[in-house]
Structure 1
């Protein structure tokens, strides 16, 4: 099945510091490509894979599950570790949950974690009915495109297959249980105006990780897909500062800031 224009994976070779970026549920690498490109321009080695079932048609997502999505980023992390001295895991929304699980499972093989509006659970009535409704209804309307910036478009699906949503629900519950195993430095960036993932999810992540070096950044001008929104430059700047500080062993522990 052909990949949607713009949804192709992105990889660039750079120096000894690598960054693995993970996109969100029903989205594609397109949502993180500007972030990835800016990191690559600064000499970092960057990998931004296309998760199985994504970037083509929603029917392909229907037949995949969290094990497939996690296995893909796990392979990418191992490949980066073979050619980089240090590797950071990063992600948006579900991609943030994938990055956190990589940190929990790989320990010091992950130097630090950067997440934007990380998902921690599936919310609302849909979450409670998924075990049954996924057998009765194939899809519900899509969740992509939560962007404040005029003209910005996210490449993703306009339908959410409920079998995949049920798998996401299962995965997020597992990640929540894994969070105390996350000890690496953490940069968490969250949007004040997010209409897709509530601030409670970021608060839950911050309350459960064991990291002592934690920086929280509030993005005042963006919605959920902040990497394509008004705060995209802020995300890049915060990321580069965080990676430089951790990779060089410089600076003090993180702070909470607006």
Structure 2
């Protein structure tokens, strides 16, 4: 896929080559690596090798995203996974929103992933279904920057391509149908109040995956982009503790 716009400042992919255990980090739908960079930096400080890919069509211009598909997004994550496999003996993964969807996808396809942490992961967003019926509409309002903490803004598109909504719907359907293939330990973060992904997604994931260890942690002081919100420290500390215990 040929992107025609420069990458926005702050939306660049990030790589930290540290230890022999790697963490693959995925940002979400219409968002950028900016939403996950604090986690990536904390993981690297804790001794992990970290890869935070920029999903195809993201972090440039919404017209780039319109030209991308779920297959392009998956390819971006697969490339990050391959980068880590060349350097690490153990792979873990975490993701926000659609990044959580992609984390589940990778756990379904790569059983060698030892543990996952999902942050307001998306597998069923009924409000998006009506978009499939729209005719002659290319772009919708922005869905990014759903953050409770004042003064914090997510670097995300100010418009949402209708084509991209159809793509994430297809991705969620595919991932949802194979959730039973997820067997690794899973830490599931869910915000009490989320204006993008219904919090009920957390229970649906927990009840559908085959993992013996599947812990749900409620985030009481954050909206959808919890990685930039008031519960950021909680997400980082609990993910590190979970990966230390189960990522072997």
Q: Verify same fold: TM over 0.5.
A: yes
Counterpart of 2:99 in structure 1 is: 95
Deviations along 1:12-56, whole A, 9 cap, x unmatched? 001111000011000000000011111111110000010000001
Counterpart of 1:139 in structure 2 is: 139
C-alpha distance in 2, partners of 1:105/1:151? 39
Counterpart of 2:129 in structure 1 is: 127
- Pair 1:77–1:123, CA change in 2 (3 A): same
Q: TM-score when scaled to structure 1?
A: 0.92
Counterpart of 2:118 in structure 1 is: 115
TM-fit CA distance, 1:247: 3.2
C-alpha distance in 2, partners of 1:212/1:122? 26
The answer on whether the counterparts of 1:120 and 1:202 sit within 8 Å (CA) in structure 2 is no
Counterpart of 1:79 in structure 2 is: 83
The answer on whether the counterparts of 2:92 and 2:247 sit within 8 Å (CA) in structure 1 is no
Query: What runs of 5+ residues in structure 2 fail to find an aligned partner?
Result: none
Please list, as runs of the form range in 1=range in 2, the aligned pairs for 1:188-199 lying within 5 A after superposition: 188-199=188-199
Query: What runs of 5+ residues in structure 1 fail to find an aligned partner?
Result: 249-258
The answer on whether the counterparts of 2:22 and 2:49 sit within 8 Å (CA) in structure 1 is yes
Deviations along 1:40-80, whole A, 9 cap, x unmatched? 11110000010000001100000111000011101211221
The answer on whether the counterparts of 1:52 and 1:61 sit within 8 Å (CA) in structure 2 is yes
Within the alignment, does 1:11 sit opposite 2:15 as a pair? Answer: yes
Please list, as runs of the form range in 1=range in 2, the aligned pairs for 1:145-224 lying within 5 A after superposition: 145-224=145-224
TM-fit CA distance, 1:85: 1.1
SS at match of 1:83: coil
* Aligned positions, number: 244
C-alpha distance in 1, partners of 2:172/2:44? 29
**Residue of 48, 60, 65 corresponding to 1:61:** 65
The answer on whether the counterparts of 2:131 and 2:166 sit within 8 Å (CA) in structure 1 is no
Within the alignment, does 1:44 sit opposite 2:48 as a pair? Answer: yes
Q: TM-score when scaled to structure 2?
A: 0.96
C-alpha distance in 1, partners of 2:213/2:175? 20
Within the alignment, does 1:247 sit opposite 2:247 as a pair? Answer: yes
Deviations along 1:95-127, whole A, 9 cap, x unmatched? 0000011000111x2011111000012322x41
TM-fit CA distance, 1:201: 1.1
After superposition, the CA RMSD in angstroms is 1.0
TM-fit CA distance, 1:240: 0.6
